[in-house]
């Protein structure tokens, strides 16, 4: 029986251009792979659109585009696929790379062919990425800019402090006076960015609702709540607590094999480092100011648990609460009662 025609497209994206490989499957039989290169610009996207039409690619569920997450360089293609309702899967680069097995040789064309084959082999398990949301991208851009500016101002202040330990007072005052305008400018930019972030949250009901739910959790403040909304695309796909903990690098995994390897459970090094840092600060705050978390931390320490292990358990507890309040769409309620 004749089956539907399917199209599998692998795209390797770089800043100036992107390489495309197209595999057509006719009646469950793979055809030869077609390859092409296009400029990563609006005119290049238009040429890419004509190329797809010339090869009969349908903009529906019978087609699948796979690209790696490149930060910002894949946005043109993501936007195009969203407008055309062309299913696209934006995958984790490390996960896709490991799926290739032992791979020898590398260039942009070969990578696009590998992505095309990956799309064909994994099509039954891959889920389409949500359509591009311009407002979400604006929020993520502001979050990224704020993080970079905070690093810059911290670097300047540390540098000034270190110079103060070795410089003469007169020279040190000149240094501080020279850098004051730069620091003041960065502080002003951070304030402006924060106003834009608050404006986006306030004007978007979906963002605003989840933001209020998140800040109801002990250990989750404004910055962490906004970052969670940005890095999870406002919890698109409804990630579970376990998935969110793995993403943040706070989920412990067993490390053992047979009778020779019996290591302790440990977290994996692959994680969203910025989210993990924010959760770490939130856990420290919760231990200090939330009575339930404070008692939990002290009890585990009294049992002989390592301080960092208990701290990670607190981070994990916070993440599980994040997933719970978002899933139930109910603010966190602290039912903890202090024993008399």
Report the pLDDT averaged over residues 301-322.
93
Work out the number of other CB atoms within 10 angstroms of the CB of residue 141.
14
Percent of the chain with pLDDT strictly greater than 90: 73
Residue pair 40/18 in contact (Cβ under 8 Å)? The answer is yes
Ranges of beta strands (E only) in the chain are 6-13, 17-26, 29-39, 63-68, 88-91, 253-257, 261-266
What value, to the nearest 5°, has the Cα angle with vertex 160 and ends 159 and 165? 100
Percent of the chain with pLDDT strictly greater than 70: 93
| Gap between the Cα atoms of 31 and 62, Å rounded | 15
| Gap between the Cα atoms of 78 and 140, Å rounded | 16
7, β-bridge pairs: 24, 63
Whether residue 77 is predicted with pLDDT greater than 50 in this model: the reply is: yes
Q: Rounded mean pLDDT of the chain?
A: 90
Whether residue 303 is predicted with pLDDT greater than 80 in this model: the reply is: yes
Report the pLDDT averaged over residues 230-258.
84
pLDDT for 258 equals 63
CA distances from 106 to 110, 114, 238, 309 (A): 6, 10, 36, 41
Q: What is the pLDDT of residues 118-165, one digit of tens each?
A: 999 998 888 888 898 999 999 999 999 999 999 999 999 999 999 998
Query: Please, which pLDDT band fits residue 253 given cuts at 50, 70 and 90?
Result: confident
Q: Is residue 119 within a helix (H) or strand (E), and if so which, with residue range?
A: helix 108-121
CB within 8 A of 106, min separation 6: which ones? Answer: none
pLDDT for 283 equals 95
| Gap between the Cα atoms of 267 and 251, Å rounded | 6
| Gap between the Cα atoms of 130 and 237, Å rounded | 8
pLDDT for 95 equals 79
CB within 8 A of 252, min separation 6: which ones? Answer: 265, 266, 267, 312, 316
Report the pLDDT averaged over residues 310-316.
94
Query: What pTM was estimated for this model as a whole?
Result: 0.85
Report the pLDDT averaged over residues 37-46.
95
Dmax (CA) for the chain in angstroms is 88
Report the pLDDT averaged over residues 174-191.
94
| Gap between the Cα atoms of 23 and 32, Å rounded | 6
Domains and CATH numbers, the chain: 6-121 (3.30.420.40), 134-190 (no CATH), 224-328 (no CATH)
Distance in Å from the first CA to the final CA of the chain: 75
Q: 193 versus 269: which is more confidently predicted?
A: 193
pLDDT for 28 equals 82
| Gap between the Cα atoms of 248 and 270, Å rounded | 9
65, β-bridge pairs: 9, 88
Q: 5 versus 287: which is more confidently predicted?
A: 287
> Would you state the structure tokens that stand for residue 76, as one six-digit string?
């043109």
| Gap between the Cα atoms of 285 and 294, Å rounded | 10
pLDDT for 271 equals 79
pLDDT for 53 equals 94
**317-330 in b/e burial notation, b at 16+ Cβ within 10 A?**
bbbbbbbebbeeee
Residue pair 3/30 in contact (Cβ under 8 Å)? The answer is no
Look at strands 6-13 and 63-68 and give their pairing.
Answer: parallel
> Would you state the structure tokens that stand for residue 63, as one six-digit string?
């087609």
Computed on alpha carbons and rounded to an integer, the radius of gyration of the chain in Å comes to 25
pLDDT for 151 equals 94
């Amino acid at each position: 029986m004749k089956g539907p025609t399917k199209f599998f497209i692998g795209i390797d994206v770089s800043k100036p251009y992107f390489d495309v490989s197209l595999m057509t499957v006719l009646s469950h039989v793979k055809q030869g792979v077609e390859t092409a290169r296009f400029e990563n610009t609006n005119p290049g996207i238009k040429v890419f659109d004509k190329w797809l039409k010339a090869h009969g690619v349908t903009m529906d569920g019978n087609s699948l585009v796979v690209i790696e997450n490149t930060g910002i360089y894949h946005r043109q293609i993501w936007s195009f696929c969203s407008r055309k309702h062309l299913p696209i899967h934006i995958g984790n680069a490390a996960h896709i790379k490991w799926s290739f097995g032992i791979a020898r040789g590398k260039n942009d064309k070969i990578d696009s062919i590998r992505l095309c084959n990956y799309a064909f082999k994994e099509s039954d398990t891959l889920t389409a990425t949500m359509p591009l949301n311009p407002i979400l991208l604006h929020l993520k851009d502001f979050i990224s800019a704020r993080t970079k500016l905070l690093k810059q101002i911290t670097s300047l202040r540390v540098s000034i402090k270190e110079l103060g330990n070795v410089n003469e007072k007169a020279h040190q005052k000149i240094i501080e006076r020279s850098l004051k305008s730069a620091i003041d400018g960065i502080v002003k930019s951070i304030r402006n960015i924060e106003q834009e972030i608050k404006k986006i949250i306030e004007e978007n009901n979906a963002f605003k609702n989840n933001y209020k739910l998140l800040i109801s959790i002990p250990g989750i403040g404004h910055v962490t709540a906004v970052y969670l909304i940005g890095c999870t695309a406002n919890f698109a796909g409804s990630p579970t607590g376990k998935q969110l903990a793995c993403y943040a690098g706070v989920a412990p995994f067993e490390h053992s094999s047979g009778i020779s390897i019996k290591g302790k459970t440990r977290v994996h090094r692959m994680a969203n480092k910025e989210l993990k840092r924010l959760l770490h600060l939130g856990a420290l705050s919760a231990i200090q100011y939330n009575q339930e978390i404070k008692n939990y931390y002290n009890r585990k320490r009294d049992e002989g648990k390592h301080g960092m292990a208990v701290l990670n358990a607190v981070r994990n507890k916070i993440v599980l609460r994040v997933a719970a309040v978002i899933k139930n769409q109910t603010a966190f309620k602290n039912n903890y009662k202090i024993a008399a």
